[in-house]
């Protein structure tokens, strides 16, 4: 069989119309989110995407395949898997929020003012809380006593993980 050269097929990157970015900006504004849409947290970006989907559906616009990724690219955002280490950084940041909440619940105050021994205690408690309240934990802890803030933080941590 003769060696035929392999021709690469260019991947077309279709852009969405400007109304898509405008819908995202309007959604962020109406949700009370400040700043550029390219700088929104991953959680807020997901809420904006849900709003854009609903808005475009109400307008009778068909959602093209890959519209979320295309909109993220056009808005100056990259999906987490496109940014090296972004998911790890987001998980670390969420874990730090959980540790801050643990410190408050233990009556130790802000993380920045803790002694090394108190910080170790908070870190151990945060790790135990995350592991114990994880959905696939072998023996899940009873997390019903966690306040609303802690339940939200744990839920967001699980979503990132």
Q: What is the pLDDT of residues 43-95, one digit of tens each?
A: 888 889 999 999 888 888 888 888 888 888 888 876 545 555 666 777 788 88
- Is residue 111 a part of any domain in this protein? yes
> Number of folded domains in the chain?
2
70 occurs within a structural domain: yes
Half-sphere exposure of 3 (CA within 13 A, CB side): 0
Confidence of residue 2 (pLDDT cuts 50, 70, 90): low
Q: Is residue 3 part of a domain?
A: no
Output b/e per residue, 125-144; b: 16+ Cβ within 10 A.
bbeebbeebbeeeeeeeeee
- The answer to pTM > 0.85 is no
Same domain, 150 and 95: yes
The reply to whether 77 and 90 lie within a common domain is: no
The reply to whether 105 and 153 lie within a common domain is yes
**For residue 22, what are the domain limits?**
18-82
Q: How many CB atoms lie within 10 A of CB 121?
A: 16
Burial class (CB in 10 A: 0-12, 13-18, 19+), 157: buried
């Amino acid at each position: 069989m003769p060696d035929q050269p392999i021709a690469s097929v260019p991947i077309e990157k279709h852009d969405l119309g400007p109304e898509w970015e405008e819908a995202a900006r309007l959604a962020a504004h109406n949700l009370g989110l400040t700043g550029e849409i390219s700088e929104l947290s991953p959680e807020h970006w997901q809420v904006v995407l849900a709003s854009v989907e609903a808005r475009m559906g109400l307008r009778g616009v068909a959602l093209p395949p890959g519209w979320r990724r295309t909109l993220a690219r056009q808005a100056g955002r990259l999906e987490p898997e496109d940014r090296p280490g972004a998911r790890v950084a987001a998980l670390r940041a969420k874990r730090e929020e959980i540790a801050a909440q643990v410190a408050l619940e233990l009556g130790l105050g802000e993380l920045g003012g803790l002694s090394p021994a108190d910080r170790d205690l908070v870190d151990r408690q945060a790790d135990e809380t995350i592991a114990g309240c994880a959905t696939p934990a072998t023996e899940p802890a009873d997390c019903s006593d966690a306040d609303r803030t802690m339940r939200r933080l744990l839920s967001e941590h699980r979503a990132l993980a």
